[in-house]
Structure 1
């Protein structure tokens, strides 16, 4: 009876692209919105800038991921072509190469030789790709998949702060907004507070979800994305406040 085990390693490629895209969409767009708002810009200009940031960011993510992962694929294919040529030119040396690898992993020399010979009779290139080059189906790069997922998740992440900007004037928070304005002396601080808080909560949810899907610590993932998200928004807000003070 075949024993089937559940592993998450096959998710590495698309999960990395999805988390990167969504995280970048939330952080970059919320930071952009907060930075512009801190400079005392009106809502229309904030919304236009944020929308432009969404489109530019999604295209940049798609192109960047595609080009980056394509370069990885080119390197993998070049290694496989080189290995294929070495198998044709010096088969005996390649057998000994695999044998040495298996000995280093704990096999006895005689058994290591038998394993190397049998695997190479079955599929020599696959054996060397896996055990010498470290290339497997799990680690194989997929440029188009990475580009599309990154662009899509970036757009979804970036929509959140933009929606906050659009619904902000219609939120029944007049008293709360006035308290924030009185405390900070800034009429844009309520918007900054709303966008920053919702974005931070979204980053925490994203971190927890990515940790759960990947089978890692949700707390560590949440702490990681929250720290960098807060740092990015804080720095951008400081820049916006500085330019707003200068222009004022």
Structure 2
């Protein structure tokens, strides 16, 4: 009863230097950066895996129709695998978020005074004076207790849970875009220079994806680019060697 009375008399003042609106904007930016990073990595996977396959098949000296069929199969299989994998992963994350929110909702109903005390402590940890933290906690509780606890305690925005369908679709599209680079490069260039042309196109594409991923993550672009380029070249070298070996035996 005391909690309800205290909550009921509080005015509608801003929650502090970093209110819910500011936290929401920060969370939105963070989610966009995560999606961008995931998209870049999906494109990088598409580039490397498709390039490794088509270069390996080209090493076996197969016909252009066989090369095209192999490339399309690699694109389809890889894109669907990425979509399903990301959908399952993000679905598990969403289920976990829902479970945490349900548990928090039960706690708010069973022990509102204790939850208010906890929220006050969380606000104090963010640099708010103890004398101000209690009124801020009361105001946030009056407005939307679950959202306040979810954001400050769980790090979850209950109004913007992760979406497995968006994650799966974006991963699939990113893989397809990346995989088209080596496939088109090897199909649209003369057979005599198809492999080196594909290697060149792949290196350029990996430089772009490596630079973007490093920029998003605030890491060293030189190291990021070196890692993805060396990894891509190694994958293509191995599969091309296998293709040459298999082609000579068939």
Same fold (TM over 0.5): yes
Q: Is the 8 A contact 2:45 2:175 kept in 1?
A: yes
Q: Check 1:25–1:138 CA distance in 2 against 1; reply closer, same or farther (3 A cut).
A: farther
1:29-178 to structure 2, matched below 5 A, reads 29-136=50-157, 140-169=161-190, 177=192
Q: Is the 8 A contact 1:165 1:191 kept in 2?
A: yes
State the alpha-carbon separation in 2 of the partners of residues 242 and 12 from structure 1. Answer: 43
Q: Is the 8 A contact 1:34 1:192 kept in 2?
A: yes
The answer to whether the aligner puts 1:194 opposite 2:197 as a matched pair is yes
State the alpha-carbon separation in 1 of the partners of residues 113 and 68 from structure 2. Answer: 66
1:227, distance to aligned residue in structure 2 (A): 3.4
Aligned to 2:221: 219
Aligned to 2:240: 237
State the alpha-carbon separation in 1 of the partners of residues 82 and 245 from structure 2. Answer: 29
Aligned pairs, number: 224
Per-residue CA deviations over 1:190-235 (Å, capped at 9, x if unaligned) read: 43322112111111123334555x3845725433432332333233
SS of 1:132's equivalent in the other structure is: helix
Q: Check 1:104–1:150 CA distance in 2 against 1; reply closer, same or farther (3 A cut).
A: same
Q: Is the 8 A contact 2:40 2:212 kept in 1?
A: no
State the alpha-carbon separation in 1 of the partners of residues 132 and 180 from structure 2. Answer: 58
RMSD: 2.8
Q: Is the 8 A contact 1:207 1:218 kept in 2?
A: no
State the alpha-carbon separation in 1 of the partners of residues 239 and 148 from structure 2. Answer: 50
Question: Which consecutive unaligned segments of at least 5 residues does structure 2 have?
Answer: 1-21
Q: Is the 8 A contact 2:41 2:209 kept in 1?
A: no
1:57, distance to aligned residue in structure 2 (A): 1.1
Q: Is the 8 A contact 2:40 2:209 kept in 1?
A: yes
SS of 1:160's equivalent in the other structure is: helix
Q: Check 1:126–1:163 CA distance in 2 against 1; reply closer, same or farther (3 A cut).
A: same
State the alpha-carbon separation in 2 of the partners of residues 119 and 62 from structure 1. Answer: 38
Aligned to 2:210: 207
- Greater mean deviation of Cα atoms: 10-19 or 91-100: 10-19
Aligned to 1:184: none
Q: Is the 8 A contact 2:150 2:156 kept in 1?
A: yes
